[in-house]
């Protein structure tokens, strides 16, 4: 099959070529990929930023989101059948959606929302599951609470705003000048233009912050939380608890504990908590998301669609930070 893969870690490497068709395990589903979306995670994996956490082997096919059609199923699969239109985020050790075919655990897939086309569906899984696992699962966000969602015009931010409003929360977000009105239309109650305002001086007494930005933004976010508040980051630093949950070695658990020691200490001093969330695949949660999409509560935001031959350009566009919502690769014409 054709796929976009890397032969080693590096900023600008990657090429389209032939790789063997995937092996289909008993609990897996072979999917013909129609569309895949691009995430910053793909860029970070390509650069080797997660090589301690995710020890991949080469050649490595990139890609963490897909929408497509089931071709065949493993002997233990009961949830899907050939011909089903599905979408999902593969488990982290079985990524590779920038390809014509992929074999995915049935537990990581869900039937595609009936009101989305393949490109729209492919844009959803990773960012929607991230938003769900931060706001619903970890923060347990409730009606009337206040949440700050950084980078509201990004892939995670654009979905998180809609999810938080559905829960009934008061939502603040940060974005650039050109996207202020756009994120208001998504539902944000307060929008901080980071080019002209400092969010840490404008916002106070928030219950939750979802951080996807740099260490400086992470530390400043402590100032907007009230005592008992939660600072949740998807961009690090990781914690020892995360390392333990990933089954990493005792040494790596200690290393990650040290990496996050500073922000955890500052959080304790302010009477708030810090946690790191690394999104995991979940077909069950994705079915919850499907319900919200089909009822019109959440709508995916697609910035641009690239053809498969332009996968490298799609990665570069996402790395530029200019995208509003998601960037999608059309694999099957």
Integer Cα distance of 37 and 34 in angstroms: 11
**Which pLDDT value is given to residue 11?**
80
pLDDT digits (tens, 9 = 90+) for 175-231: 999 999 999 999 999 999 999 999 999 999 999 999 999 999 999 999 999 999 999
Integer Cα distance of 306 and 4 in angstroms: 13
Give the DSSP letter of residue 222: G
**Which pLDDT value is given to residue 333?**
62
Mean pLDDT of 90-118: 97
pLDDT digits (tens, 9 = 90+) for 211-222: 999 999 999 999
> What are the structural domains, with CATH classification, of the chain?
2-124+300-330 (3.90.180.10), 126-276 (3.40.50.720)
pLDDT digits (tens, 9 = 90+) for 283-306: 999 999 999 999 999 999 999 999
Q: What backbone torsions phi and psi does residue 260 show, to the nearest 5 degrees?
A: -100, 5
Structure-block tokens of residue 151: 């980078």
Contact between 332 and 197 (Cβ < 8 Å): no
């Amino acid at each position: 099959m054709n796929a976009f893969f890397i032969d080693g870690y590096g900023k600008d490497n990657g090429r389209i070529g032939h790789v063997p068709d995937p092996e289909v395990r008993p609990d897996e589903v072979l999917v013909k990929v129609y569309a895949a979306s691009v995430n910053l995670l793909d860029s970070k994996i390509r650069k080797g930023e997660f090589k301690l956490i995710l020890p991949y082997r080469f050649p490595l096919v990139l890609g963490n989101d897909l929408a497509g059609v089931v071709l065949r199923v493993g002997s233990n699969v009961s949830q899907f059948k050939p011909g089903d239109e599905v979408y999902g985020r593969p488990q982290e050790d079985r990524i590779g959606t920038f390809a014509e075919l992929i074999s995915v655990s049935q537990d990581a897939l869900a039937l595609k929302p009936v009101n989305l086309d393949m490109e729209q569906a492919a844009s959803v899984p990773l960012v929607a599951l991230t938003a769900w696992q931060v706001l619903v699962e970890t923060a347990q966000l409730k009606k009337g609470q206040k949440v700050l969602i950084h980078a509201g015009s990004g892939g995670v931010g654009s979905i998180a705003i809609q999810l938080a409003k559905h829960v009934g929360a008061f939502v603040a977000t940060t974005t650039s000048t050109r996207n202020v009105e756009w994120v208001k239309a998504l539902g944000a109650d307060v929008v901080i233009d980071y080019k002209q305002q400092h969010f840490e001086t404008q916002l106070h007494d928030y219950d939750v912050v979802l951080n996807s930005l740099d260490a400086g933004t992470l530390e400043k976010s402590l100032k907007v939380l009230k005592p008992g508040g939660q600072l949740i980051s998807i961009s690090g630093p990781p914690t020892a608890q995360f390392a333990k949950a990933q089954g990493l070695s005792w040494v790596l658990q200690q290393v990650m504990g040290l990496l996050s020691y500073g922000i955890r200490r500052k959080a304790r001093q302010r009477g708030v908590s810090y946690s790191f969330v690394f999104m995991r695949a979940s077909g069950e949660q994705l079915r919850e998301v499907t319900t919200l999409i089909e009822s019109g509560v959440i709508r995916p935001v697609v910035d641009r669609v690239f053809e498969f031959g332009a996968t490298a350009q799609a990665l570069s566009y996402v790395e530029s930070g200019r995208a509003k919502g998601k960037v999608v690769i059309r694999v099957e014409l």
